[in-house]
Each structure stands twice: as structure tokens, then as C-alpha cells.
Amino acid sequence: MGLTLVYGVLGVGDFAHGDKMGWGMFLAFFVVSSEGANLGFAGGQFGSLSFGWGLVVGVLVAMLGVAALSLVLERLVFRRLRDAGGTFFVFAIASLGISIGMRAVIQLIWGPSNFRYTPGIHPATEILGGIKVKPDQFFIVGITILAAVLLYWLLYRTRFGKAMRATADNPGLAEASGIDTNRIRYGTWIVGGMLAALAGVMLGLQAEVRFDAGFRLLLPLFAAVILGGIGNPWGALFGGLLVGIAQEVSTQWINTGLKPGIPFVIVIVVLLLRPRGLFGQAR
């Protein structure tokens, strides 16, 4: 959702989004790991979930940190490129460079190993039809829904959010209406960065904390965004679900090694039938 929002409002295909997830993941890891424990944030466990207050603090730190990082990048890189008349392609290549740099810094600090937020085995409970779900996964689904609802509220119910949509729709007219589009751009990077960090922590919770975990999700992420209709947050949510489920279900019939290709098969088929994505609207 963060990726599609940034594209919709800013016209930037942000290849660094996956590594922003990575940074969110590791900032939270820093808080809950032994370094964080020295600061007194690590402890606690909520009911049957695998984590406690430490990770809540970690999520907040991650969201603020990645939002701040995104702001700095807008000011130092994207704003300059925009002022110099940069096109979509220029933004994409710049963000690809940023992506590589960000990933390298994570690897430099934390190395190439895998980590977990909380060690130990966290058993799954069985729900309907023999499907096993971990308590953490319920939590992740809940947080995702909450984030989607909050994003909807921001975009459709607040003055700032409506100005974001107006800027995405028609930047020239937005500016002529007195909307400070630079402020809107900063705001969009903040929201996009926070969503990336949140997604990164959830990914770390669900799988493992690894320097390239966010990056490895980048291509399926783009697939989800394109599927949903680029620039459409609800489409992205649905596209993400579709891509994820299709990948897992496909292993019933095909070799697991081919799984990463599934999203793109779906994208090709959908785009052939609906060039603007499933929920893209004609202008």
C-alpha cells in the first residue's frame, strides 16, 4: 500500500521500498535484541503472541526512522531530480541505487545472518478444515486491516489526505488551488515510509529477520501493485492477497522453485485482459 501510494501521489516507482521494509525490520530488531535489551525495551510477551511491549516500541521506532529516512531522501535526491525535470525512469533508477545502498548498510551493521525477534518455538493452533494458524498471524492480519482502514480515513476523510489525492490526480491544478504540493510530497513519503516499516516488521515477525528479506519481496510487491491498478491502495491490498495465496496454492501442482514466477504469470494474464489492473479506472 505504501508503494502504490508513493507511486500514485509522487510518480516515483520506489525500488527502495523493499529495503525500507528491511530497515524497518532491523530497526525493530535493534530495539528487541540484546542491544535493545540494554535499553530496557526487550521484555514481555502478550498472551499467546510471541512478542511483548518491546516489539511495540520497535514498530514505533521503525516507523519513525524509516519515515525520517524517506524525508531525507526526498529532500536530497527526489526533489532535486524533480526540479531538474527528471522522468519516471530517472526516479526509478535513483531509487534502485538507494535500494542497493540501504541494503549494503544493513549487511554492514548486522551481517548476512538470519535473526528472529523472539527465539523459541511458537506453536500454531488449528482452525477450520485443518488449516494451522499462529497467533502472530492473526495479529498480522489485524494490523494490516487496521492500517488499511486508517489509510482510507486519511485519504478520504481528512483535508490533508484529500489534498494528497488531488495532487496525485492533477498536480498543476492542485498547485493552482493553493495546495502546497511540496508539503504533500513530504507527507506522502512519511506515510509511505511508515507503511513500509510496518510491513517490514510484520514480515520479520512472520518469517525471519534477514538483510535482504524486504528486497526479495520487491518484485512480488510490484506485481501486487500492478495487479491492483497502480496508485490504488485497495487494489494493492487485494493484489497482495491474490499474489500471496496464488504463490502458496500453486505449489500443489508445480515445483516450489517456480513459485516466485507465479505473480508475474498472473500479472501478464490480468494486464492482457485489463491493461489498467483489476481496479484501475479510466480517466
Secondary structure of 30-69 as H, E, C letters: HHHCHHHHHHCCCCCCCCCCCCCHHHHHHHHHHHHHHHHH
Query: Segment near other proteins (CB under 8 A), from 35-43, 166-174, 194-202, 209-217?
Result: 166-174
How far apart CA 138 and CA 247 sit, in angstroms, is: 20
Closer of 9 and 106 to other proteins (Cβ): 9
Q: Tell whether residue 283 is a contact of other proteins (CB under 8 A).
A: yes
Select from 75, 79, 122, 165 the one that contacts other proteins (CB under 8 A). Answer: 165
Select from 166, 203, 205, 217 the one that contacts other proteins (CB under 8 A). Answer: 166
Q: Tell whether residue 79 is a contact of other proteins (CB under 8 A).
A: no
CB of 186 to other proteins, least distance (A): 17
Per CB under 8 A, which of residues 177..196 are in contact with other proteins?
Answer: 177-179
Select from 112, 172, 257, 275 the one that contacts other proteins (CB under 8 A). Answer: 172
Closer of 206 and 281 to other proteins (Cβ): 281
Closer of 120 and 178 to other proteins (Cβ): 178
Instruction: Indicate the DSSP class of residue 48.
Output: T
Per CB under 8 A, which of residues 1..30 are in contact with other proteins?
Answer: none
Cell numbers 511495540 correspond to what residue?
Answer: 56
Closer of 200 and 280 to other proteins (Cβ): 280
Q: How many residues of this chain interact with other proteins, rule: CB under 8 A?
A: 19
Closer of 53 and 186 to other proteins (Cβ): 186
Binding mask 121-160 for other proteins (x = CB under 8 A): --------------------------------------x-
CB of 170 to other proteins, least distance (A): 6
Select from 80, 104, 132, 169 the one that contacts other proteins (CB under 8 A). Answer: 169
DSSP character string of the chain = -HHHHHHHHH----TTHHHHHHHHHHHHHHHHSHHHHHHT------TTSS--HHHHHHHHHHHHHHHHHHHHHIIIIIHHHHHTT--HHHHHHHHHHHHHHHHHHHHHHH-S--B-SS-S--PPEE-GGG-EE-HHHHHHHHHHHHHHHHHHHHHHHSHHHHHHHHHHH-HHHHHHTT--HHHHHHHHHHHHHHHHHHHHHHHHHHS-B-TTHHHHHHHHHHHHHHHH-TT-HHHHHHHHHHHHHHHHHHTTTS-GGGGGGHHHHHHHHHHHH-TT-SS----
Q: Tell whether residue 84 is a contact of other proteins (CB under 8 A).
A: no
Closer of 125 and 177 to other proteins (Cβ): 177
Interaction site with other proteins (CB under 8 A): 159, 162-163, 165-166, 168-170, 172-179, 281-283
